[in-house]
Structure 1
Amino acid sequence: MPCLDNRASLPYLDAILREVLRWYPPFPLGIPHATSNDDVYDGHFIPKGAMVMVNQWALSRDEDIFPNASRFDPIDGKLKSPFVNHFAFGHGRRICPGRLTHG
């Protein structure tokens, strides 16, 4: 059975897994987070304790990063960032803890 040590020799499988997570993120609107401080983002005030969610569906459909974003394309749709930084695994402090061992 393949394991993480075999990842470098399985580029097509790696591309398919990345594309599946991009094409249909497991949590399309992410997981809710609460702000720890007051903040201003793009001219909008966000008070401390406000619930914020990342629209992962929109991130996965960004045509600037993923040309033909609605098309499943594991080869031409390769991620521009490392797999462990993929938005499907969370953001900020709450990113997947497995990233430290499966990078």
Structure 2
Amino acid sequence: MARTLSSEKYTAAIVEALDPRVKDKAALARFQDMNPPGDMRQGTEICMELRGDTLYYMIGGRAIGSIQSEELTAALADVYFGSDPVSPPARADACKRISAGL
């Protein structure tokens, strides 16, 4: 996290971006439920690993869980890596890390 943010605000923002893209509302609800209550402190790393139709979710180095939903993983990829990403710096950083791994 670039700054301290309540989990509720983070979750509301990401769900707002995902909602119009995801018809699988059960998967979206599971994603919401995976976010722990409280604050996400500045520097907390949130890792969303997308492998095909499965999201593997970690916060602060701790595995939170996984969700199998092709719609959800496609929507997350679009939100973060599409033509209008929610965080251009996060997109650039992810692209840099992917390139370094090749």
TM-score for the superposition, normalised by structure 1: 0.33
Higher strand share: 2
Higher helix share: 2
Higher relative contact order (CA 8 A, sep 6+): 1
Give the structure with higher Rg (CA): 1
